Amino acid sequence: MDNKDLKVFFLPAWYPNPDNRIGGIFIKEHAKALVNKVKLLVVFYVFPYRNSKKLIEIHQYQEEGIQHYIIYHKRFKGVLFILNYFLYAYCLFAGYFKVLKLYGKPDINHVHVLTRVGLPAMLMKFLYNVPYVITEHWSRYLLNSDQYRGAIRKWITKKIINYSDGLSTVSDNLRFAMKKRGLHHSNSQVIYNTVDVNSFYKIFPEHSNKKIKFLHVSGIEDNVKNVSGILEAVVLLRQKIRNFELHIIGNHADRRKYEDDVKLKGLDNVFFYGELYGSDLIKHYQNSDAFVLFSNYENLPCVLLEALCCGLPLIASAVGGVGEIVNENNGILVKSKDITGLSEAMEYMVNNLKMFDTSKIIADARNKYAYPSVSEEFLAFYNKALDNYRIK
């Protein structure tokens, strides 16, 4: 089948929503990469919205060429919490059949993040012979995680994968971990997250005798991102040099603790901005010199790809799939929780920033993570799935 004739339905478990504007943003980026390569791309998403004033709200719209059919349902609390499961299931299955009626039968369903959204895709394969593929983003399958548990969940997850027509992951590390857990497929591919390089690009300002600006962007939850560890590394580094700054973007309940810590330690070179989006966020990438991510665990964070597309060398902890994208040409890997090692890496970056070729970092990142590269990989993935399904 010609790719321009393909009708694709995205079924994500995560997607940007009123509670979290950046939740699942990487799935939306995958959709944006594909939308101009296929005949029709529809995102169908169900979300239990805590501030919903109605039992069920339906939002149907087109954005950046992508058709959206979004259902928000009321989120119950307390003793009525169990109703959320039934309401979600109703919206998921009834909503999918409504999407089917509106847009016609797809050529392929694309499930993002197991397990629950894989159920309607598996049902549609049995009822209407619509093949489906899966892209997994979740770090819960990593071998050092204890989030993948429960006999029923594990059984259903394996069934959904076994009946699917392909499984892709956003890092080789995640693919390896899933295989170790018995979750694998003959049509298995690693397809990285993607970046809109028309938005994330480098500006080359003229600077002289300026301070080196380190940037950190995340949800700043300390048990995941270890922002407190970054601040400790800054304390160590300030004892040696002072010509640097740290700019932190993101918001979480932990932010107050960080700000109090910064005041207590007298770190007048650390700045917090809260959540930023769009051009406000991109300007910080464009006006920074290097990016720091000191996570305790990760899969393949988009912020690293965005930083590379803006020409920023990286300092990142060697966890999850991070080691697959950081190399001697674009950054420095450190051990997670090694505060001294992080401080030394930041010191090296301050003193040797010019050793990192910004233009080469950008060229390599665009070649791997821009829309054209990722979309071609997805189309090849779809075509292999469709070919294998026809043979069966």
Q: Where are the domains of the chain?
A: 3-194+370-391, 212-369
Q: How much is the average pLDDT of 262-279?
A: 94
Provide the pLDDT for residue 45: 98
Q: Report which of 111, 187, 191, 186 is spatially closest to residue 156, judged by C-alpha positions.
A: 111
Q: What confidence tens digit (pLDDT) does each residue in 334-360 have? A: 999 999 999 999 999 999 999 999 999
> Could you give the C-alpha distances from 1 to 6, 127, 242, 390, in angstroms and in order?
7, 22, 60, 11
> Could you give the C-alpha distances from 248 to 59, 213, 282, 291, 378, in angstroms and in order?
34, 11, 13, 10, 33
Q: What is the mean pLDDT of the chain?
A: 94
Angle in degrees, 0-180, between the axes of helices 255-265 and 227-238, rounded to the nearest 10: 10
The identity of residue 303, as a single letter, is: V
Alpha helices in 104-254 (DSSP H): 118-128, 151-163, 172-180, 222-225, 227-238
Assess contact for 254 and 220: CB atoms under 8 A. yes
User: What would you report as the CA-atom Rg of the chain, rounded to the nearest whole angstrom?
Assistant: 22
Provide the pLDDT for residue 19: 87
Is pLDDT above 70 for 298?
A: yes
Q: What confidence tens digit (pLDDT) does each residue in 83-139 have? A: 999 999 999 999 999 999 999 999 999 999 999 999 999 999 999 999 999 999 999
Q: How much is the average pLDDT of 244-269?
A: 94
Query: For residues 350 and 353, what is the distance between their CA atoms, to the nearest angstrom?
Result: 6
Q: Is the peptide bond before 169 cis (omega within 30 degrees of 0)?
A: no
Buried b (16+ CB within 10 A) or exposed e, 254-273: bbeebeebbeeeebebbebe
Same fold across 3-194+370-391 and 212-369:
yes
Q: What confidence tens digit (pLDDT) does each residue in 304-324 have? A: 999 999 999 999 999 999 999
Residue 205: pLDDT band by 50, 70, 90 thresholds?
A: low
Domain at 3-194+370-391: CATH code: 3.40.50.2000
Q: How much is the average pLDDT of 27-35?
A: 97
Q: How much is the average pLDDT of 203-229?
A: 87
The proportion of the chain whose per-residue pLDDT surpasses 70, expressed as a percent, equals 98
Query: For residues 122 and 110, what is the distance between their CA atoms, to the nearest angstrom?
Result: 11
Provide the pLDDT for residue 79: 87
Provide the pLDDT for residue 186: 94
Is pLDDT above 60 for 56?
A: yes
Is pLDDT above 60 for 207?
A: no
The class of domain 212-369 in CATH terms is: alpha beta
